Amino acid sequence: MSWDRNQMAARAAQELQDGYYVNLGIGIPTLVANHIPEGVEVTLQSENGMLGIGPFPYEDEIDADLINAGKQTISELTSSSYFGSADSFAMIRGGHIDLTVLGAMEVAQNGDIANWMIPGKMIKGMGGAMDLVAGVKKIIVVMDHCAKDGSPKFIPICTLPLTGINVVDMIITDLAVFHRTDHDSPFKLIELALGVTAEQVAAKTTADFLI
Amino acid sequence: MKKIYPDAATALDGLLFDGMHLCVGGFGLCGIPERLIDALQEAGVKNLTIASNNAGIDNEGLGKLLRSRQVKKMISSYVGENKEFERQFLSGELEVEFCPQGTLAERCRAGGAGIPGFYTKTGVGTQVAEGKEVKSFDGEDYILERGIFADLCLIKGWKADKAGNLVFRKTARNFNAPMATAGKICVAEVEEIIEVGELDPDAIHLPSIYVKRLIDGSPYDKKIEFRMTREREDAA
C-alpha cells in the first residue's frame, strides 16, 4: 500500500496553520488547496502576482488576465490583491511567506534539493523555485519516493543541479514522512503510509535518516 | 510632448538596432506586449538579447521572434512549453541565461532604480552562483546579482491616460511593472487610452514618467495556456 497523489497532498495540508500565507508549487502541491483542514484559514500566494487565490473559475468567469503560476485560469476572492513580480518576490525573498510545498526530483540527506533541470534533457528552468527555497520559512517537499525507474529520490548527495542547499524541512512521499527540527539535524522518519513498514522505506532510501 | 502613437511600428520608429538589449513584460502569455512583439518581428531587427520571464510558446509572443531567428540570447526563468526554443538551445543556436524568477524581477527593479547590483540568498550554492561574488552577512552567504538596464522596455497595460499614467489588470501586471522602469525608454501598449483625470491619482500602478510612448493595441484576443474550470453545483 502507499499514498496516492491526493493523500500526499492531504498529508501536506495537515502542516497548514491558521493565518499562514502559503505558496504551492505546480503538480501535487497544487492539490494541497483541496485539503485545507476545517477551521484553518490560509492565504495562497501565486508568485506571478496575487494573494488570495480562488478556485478554478466557472466557464463564464474565465479571464485570460487571471492565472496562477502554473498558467492555469483561476478566480479571485473578495480578499484578493494583485501586485507586480518584484513585489511578489519581495514577499517570498523577504521571509514573509510561512510555508511552501514543492515537488522535487532529488532531496539529499542534508536538505539540499534538486528540482529544476536534467542536463541535456529537461531545460525548462527554475522559475521561482530557487527564490522560494531561499526565502520561505518552512519548505515541504512532496514527491514520489522513487523515480519511474525505481531509483531512490531521497539520497545521500544530489546528483542533479541544485535548486538550494540545506533548505528542506519536511519530505512527504507516497510511502512516508520525514521531518527535521532544524537545518543542523538529520531527517527522522515520523510517519508511514498505511500498510507500509519502516523496513520497506529503508530498502527504497539511500539517504541516512533516523527512525 | 506627445506620447500617443498610431500603431506599434510607428511607436518603435528610431528605437531599434541590431544587437540591442530589451526587457519584455508578461508571464507566460498573460500580459505580453503582443502588438509590439509583432512590430519587432516585422522590423526584422536581429541579434537581440531579451530579458523576459518566459520565451512565449511556439508561434505566440516571443516564440515568434525565436522562429524568425532574431534572438541571440534570452534571460529567462522558465522556458517550458516551447519546442522551437528547446531545439535552438540544444543545438547551440540560442544562448540562454537562466535567472531565478525573483532575481530577474529584482534585477529589473534595481536596474530601474539606479542600483547596479545587490546581494541575494537565492541561488547560493547552485549553478546560478557560478562566477558571482559571494559575501557573508550576519553569518549567511549571499551572491551578487547585477541590475538590468536595457536599451528598450516593452510592456502591456490595461488602461493609460493621455499623459501616460497606467494601470494593469489582475495578474497581467506581473513583470510589466518592474520592467517598465528597467531601461532607457519604455513603450507601452494598452487596451484603452482615456482622458487625463479619469484615473484616480491614488490608484495609478505606473506613473507617467516611465511611459515614453504609448499605443492603443485593441482589440485583443487574449490567449490562455491552461484553461481550467469548475462545474456549478446548483445545476439542478
Per-residue pLDDT tens digits for B74-107: 999 999 888 888 889 888 999 999 999 999 999 9
Instruction: Count, in order, helices (H) and strands (E) of chain B.
Output: 6, 13
pLDDT at B236 over 60: no
Helix (H, G, I), strand (E, B) or coil at B187: strand
Question: Which of chain B's residues have a Cβ under 8 Å away from the Cβ of A162?
Answer: 125-127
> Which region holds residue A115: left if phi is over 0, alpha if psi is between -120 and 50, else beta?
alpha
- The pLDDT assigned to B235 comes to 54
Question: Which of chain A's residues have a Cβ under 8 Å away from the Cβ of B96?
Answer: 123
Q: Is residue A140 within 8 Å of residue A102, measured between CB atoms?
A: yes
pLDDT at B233 over 80: no
- A116, closest residue in chain B (CA to CA): B78
DSSP readout, A111-130? S-EE-S-BTTTB----TTHH
- Could you tell me the three cell numbers for B96? 540562454
For residue B179, give the H/E element and its range.
helix B176-179
ipTM score assigned to the predicted complex: 0.96
pLDDT at B184 over 60: yes
Q: Is residue B62 within 8 Å of residue B50, measured between CB atoms?
A: yes
Contact criterion met (CB < 8 Å) for A48 and B168: no
Contact criterion met (CB < 8 Å) for A65 and B30: yes
- The pLDDT assigned to B234 comes to 65
Dihedral, CA atoms, A162, A167, A169, A174, nearest 10 degrees?
-10
Contact residues, B window 67-106, toward A, CB-based 8 Å cutoff: 76-80, 86, 89-90, 96, 98, 100-106
- The pLDDT assigned to B90 comes to 86
Q: Is residue A141 within 8 Å of residue A114, measured between CB atoms?
A: no
Taking the CA of residue A130 and the nearest CA in chain B, the distance in Å comes to 6
Q: Of A15, A38, A41, A47, which residue is the catalytic one?
A: A47
Contact criterion met (CB < 8 Å) for A85 and B122: no
> Which region holds residue A145: left if phi is over 0, alpha if psi is between -120 and 50, else beta?
alpha
Taking the CA of residue B65 and the nearest CA in chain A, the distance in Å comes to 19
Q: Binning pLDDT at 50, 70 and 90, where does residue B130 land?
A: very high
Per-residue pLDDT tens digits for A74-132: 999 999 999 999 999 999 999 999 999 999 999 999 999 999 999 887 778 999 999 99
Taking the model in full, what pTM does it have?
A: 0.96
- Low pLDDT (below 70) residues in chain A: none
Cα B156 to Cα B143: distance, rounded to the nearest angstrom: 31
Contact criterion met (CB < 8 Å) for A84 and B168: yes
How many interchain CB pairs under 8 A, A with B? 181
Cα A80 to Cα B135: distance, rounded to the nearest angstrom: 37
For residue B36, give the H/E element and its range.
helix B34-43
DSSP helix, strand, coil percent of chain B (3-state; round to 5): 25, 30, 50
Cα A191 to Cα A175: distance, rounded to the nearest angstrom: 9
Q: Tell me whether A162 touches chain B (CB under 8 Å).
A: yes
Per-residue pLDDT tens digits for B12-25: 999 999 999 999 99
Cα B168 to Cα B20: distance, rounded to the nearest angstrom: 27
Q: Is residue A88 within 8 Å of residue A45, measured between CB atoms?
A: yes
Contact criterion met (CB < 8 Å) for A93 and B106: yes
Nearest of A116, A87, A92, A124 to residue A23 by alpha carbon: A92
Dihedral, CA atoms, B155, A69, B82, B122, nearest 10 degrees?
90
Is A38 annotated in the active site? no
- The pLDDT assigned to B81 comes to 81
Question: Which of chain A's residues have a Cβ under 8 Å away from the Cβ of B230?
Answer: 55-58
